[in-house]
Amino acid sequence: MIIGTAKETYRADEALLTTRPQQVWMAVLLAGLAVLPFTFNAYWTYLACLVLINVIAATGLNVLTGFTGLVSLGHAAFMAIGAYTVAWLERDIGTPLLLNLLAGGLLAAGIGVIVGLPSLRVKGLYLAIATIAASFILHFVFVEWTAVTGGSAGISLQPGTVFGVALVDYTQLYWLIMPICVLMVTGAANLFRNRIGRAFIAIRDRDISAEVLGIPILRYKLMSFALASFYAGVAGGLWAYFFRVVTPESFPLLTSIFLLAAVIVGGMGTILGGVIGALFMTLVPELLRFGVELLGPVIPNAGLILSPVRTIVFGALIVGFLVFEPQGLTEIVQRIRRFFRLWPFRT
Amino acid sequence: MSDDLLFFTEVTLAGLGSGALLALTALSFVLIYKATRVINLAVGETLMLGGYLFLAFAAGMGLPVWAALPLAIAGGGVLGAIVERGLIRPMLGKSPISVFMVTVGLGSVLVGLVEMLWGTDPRTLPGFIANTPVFIGEAYVSRKIVVAFIAAALVIGVFLALFRFWRGGVALRATASDQAAAYSCGINVPGVFSIAWIIGCATAAGTGVLLGAIGGISPSMGIFGLSALVVVIVGGLDSILGALIGGLGLGLIQAWTGSYLGGEYQSVVTFGLLIVTLVIRPYGLFGTHEIERL
């Protein structure tokens, strides 16, 4: 049982991981991430890559929605910008992979600032709807600007190369995606230990009060948009290297809803929430597939109902979490932590 | 009449027809928003469900049209009642974004249910409107669009009369303008919430039947709800007049861009209009400008 966490320095108090169990769990997590490709087969490595890409995008959206309180339903469009930038650079310019990813993220951030401009005038639901509108307009650009985006056929990529290694199979891609994901999530966690992150939280809690306290709201809102879009752009770039084809239909409105759902299900306004939300929402459809396969002998056309069942469960998860567990999975994790903290004295 | 002018007239009439359907859908949005301050993004999916219910009653069970249509509308109303009591009522007082996301999730559930029961292929509704065209002057208009326009106009007229004269309608307006005051005058505010959702969803289901009669039904027709969302944002979320003018206006604009620029420009123009409105007049053309205080 932990009675308290005594700290002697401000440094220790501000640290990311304040208690011994936290440090142990983080070490376990990192070790797990390191050995994952050696223990899992190709299919699970593929899933792990997908989860990590979604974790990056969801963490970005969490910075925007969970921490700054600006709802975006156009996040998939920023992923698409990253993916298209990477694909275009890879096809026409041939710059190195890591530079492409950075360029994808930066361009997405730039567009994000433009899309965020209406947040000067509107907020809440209106902003969410403005971002939907922006994503439809971007979709139009992807379809019509054929010289760069390849129109509805999209762009196919050759496997990317990092330090002379071609990224062909999922294990190689994993070693690209995993470090970037860890880096970006750590970056997001550290953001909230300094001025910028605190300003975001102040804006979320009450933007008028934040302005009265001397926080330049517009600048920080746009900064939040830029950061979130940067994360999405990098995630989209990795997505492009992962699937090696980018079309306008790769990032539909449903992807934006998926990311927002991941943040909600995971828990808004906690870094852990974005991570476990993305993990959960990516894996549930796969678990459903196993479930439906198990039911195969019982129900005649089990394969046919898989897609509708996924759609229903997806919607039901959003509704269920909002109604019954609005703090998301993080709250459940906290409850488990509290239980073990007081165990065996209070159960 | 010259050919160009004739073409323009025909496009305009078709635009007015789809605009009337947009206005009707927008009315369903506004009704629910006015009473409960909830943006119901599942309205497009309710529309779709209405179309499929009509298909089930008319084609599946072989009922005549005059029985299937009210049943489909009633089905929408039942859905509204269930959603209001089961999902929206427990969310009272939560942040508007959460409630909004609940309706997004609900939309996903409805799409999944329809796909599971009826499959993903587009269907056509059993024809209950003759195919012979109507000529207004020299201009050719599809009879379905004329019927849809007249039906929408009638329903909107009935609504306006109800808001003006019916006790429930007055209670709804009272709740919209001040909830606490409405409570203290003895108005059953939760009841008003239920009624708004029931009527709103029933309207959407009926619109779905009209829309399905014109263009067929498919699980993805809920996208029509997004156009209606643009209408209410442009017209003002809590303004019935805004829904009417916005609906007809957007229908016309969509028809004109579709015919003169090409169908691919429709969504850009629609959503561009939305962004311009949000930047210039965030509360819409006729909406109430809410002042925020600390």
Per-residue model confidence as pLDDT tens digits over B237-284: 888 888 889 999 999 999 999 888 887 888 889 899 888 888 888 888
- pLDDT surpasses 80 at B139: no
**A183, A260, B25, B165, B211 from A55: Cα distances, Å:** 12, 12, 37, 54, 40
Write the residue in A125, A133, A206 that is nearest to B39 by C-beta. A125
**A2: confidence class by pLDDT, cuts 50, 70, 90:** low
Burial label, A59 (beta-carbon count in 10 A; 0-12, 13-18, 19+): buried
- A140-192 residue pLDDT tens: 999 988 888 888 888 888 888 888 778 888 888 999 999 999 999 999 999 99
**Who contacts B35 (Cβ-Cβ below 8 Å, separation ≥6)?**
B172, B175, B176, B192, B193, B195, B196, B197
The answer to which of A313-322, B119-128, B216-225 has the lowest mean pLDDT is B119-128
- A260 reaches B (C-beta below 8 A): yes
Cβ B270 vs Cβ B264: under 8 Å: no
- For range A99-117, the mean pLDDT: 93
Buried b (16+ CB within 10 A) or exposed e, B40-59: bbbbbbbbbbbbbbbbbbbe
* pLDDT for res A347: 59
Give A273 to chain B, closest Cα distance, Å. 16
Class of CATH domain A18-342: mainly alpha
Q: Do residues A331 and A280 make contact, with C-beta atoms less than 8 angstroms apart?
A: no
- Cβ-Cβ contacts under 8 Å between A and B: the total is 125
What does pLDDT average to over chain B?
87
Amino acid of residue A79: M
CB contact under 8 A, A136 and B271: yes
> Nearest residue on chain A to B284, judged by CA atoms?
A126
**Residue B84 reports pLDDT greater than 80:** yes
Q: Is the pLDDT of residue A39 over 90?
A: no
Inter-chain touch B105–A261, beta carbons under 8 Å: yes
How much is the pLDDT for B293? 67
Does A128 lie at the interface with B, CB-CB under 8 angstroms?
A: yes
**Confidence at residue B109, expressed as pLDDT on a 0 to 100 scale:** 94
